[in-house]
Amino acid sequence: MAAIFEGSGVALVTPFQNGKVDTEAIKRLVEMQINAGTQAIIACGTTGEPATMTPDERELVIRTVCETANGRISVIAGTGTNSTQSVISAAKRYEGLGCAAQLVVTPYYNKTNTEGLYRHYMTIAENTELPIVIYNVPSRTGIDLQPGMLARLAKCGKFVGVKESSYDLPTVMEKAAVMKDTQVAMYSGNDDMNYPLLSLGARGVVSVAANFIPGKVAEMVDSFLQGRTREALEMQLKLMPVNRALFYEVNPIPCKAAMEILGLCGGELRLPLYQISGENRAKLVDALGGLGLL
């Protein structure tokens, strides 16, 4: 089975205006991503603030992205939450919209045991149509998907990818070995780890920075995939100050501030997320200036 995408994917922010989803801004951002060479858009992933939106709002975002993309780029819908049934209900809402897959984060807060995690994912696989990209982000969920679990899930053809956001490189290497001869593709989920995970065989990245520097991220990933690894490394190192700045505060607070500073969309957030501090905004501006964006 071919990978859902290869190259740069963006974890798209959700623009808000006066408390409502800004669909016109979403359309502009989708066009910008396509024109910049992005290969996939993740709509309503955690960067898109889905936890603060109603089911109707989330469907509106995903519908708008799919309609604007119109088959020109892969769209992956974020369905993950800590309720198995809620994931299934969300996925069923999106099945006719044109999504290529769904992104399902490991459960958080009501963290489960090993068998519960397996049954969570298999129940979703058995009751939804969209292929599944697993999202492993232990710093946010408290669960780290282990190689053995991945090997079990890979036996089911519904699992097509893992967005890997762990900093435990030895364990990630074990996962890469598990995925090597399966239909499951690895994607880097942390901008500051893109080059290391590409070196381990990742087929692409799911980037936050690509929200406002899509061309630079796509160029770095494409350079690596085309064998220009030294060039890709130099690009990655140049992007590191921005990658770091994006996590001075909880994502997507700095990302939305960057989008606003660069005039791409409003920086409005939904509580409990709040605007970036003055000190961290100044650091973010310095990082953006270092890339020649200001």
Condensed to tens digits (0 to 9), the pLDDT of residues 89-111 reads: 999 999 999 999 999 999 998 88
Measured in whole angstroms, the distance separating CA 42 from the mean position of its chain's CA atoms is 6
Residues 94, 135, 187, 195: which is the catalytic one? 135
C-beta separation of 161 from 187 below 8 A: yes
CB count in 10 Å sphere of residue 220:
30
Q: Is 118 a catalytic residue?
A: no
Per-residue pLDDT tens, the chain, 294 aa: give them: 578 999 999 999 999 999 999 999 999 999 999 999 999 999 999 999 999 999 999 999 999 999 999 999 999 999 999 999 999 999 999 999 999 999 999 999 888 899 999 999 999 999 999 999 999 998 888 899 999 999 999 999 999 999 999 999 999 999 999 998 899 999 999 999 999 999 999 999 999 999 999 999 999 999 999 999 999 999 999 999 999 999 999 999 999 999 999 999 999 999 999 999 999 999 999 999 999 998
Q: 40, 12 in Cβ contact below 8 A?
A: no
Residues near 279 by beta carbon (within 8 Å), at least 6 away in sequence: none
Q: How far apart are CA 239 and CA 241, in angstroms?
A: 6
Is 108 noted as a catalytic residue in this protein? no
Q: Is the dihedral of CA 168, 174, 178, 180 positive or negative?
A: positive
**Strand ranges for the chain from DSSP E:** 7-11, 16-17, 20-21, 40-43, 74-78, 101-105, 132-136, 159-164, 185-188, 204-207
CA distance 205 to 268: 26
* Given 158, 163, 175, 256, the catalytic residue: 163
Domains of the chain plus CATH, in order, are 7-228 (3.20.20.70)
> Do the Cβ atoms of 268 and 262 come closer than 8 Å?
no
Rounded (5°) CA angle 246-249-255: 40
Asked if residue 55 has a cis previous peptide bond (ω within 30° of 0), the answer is: no
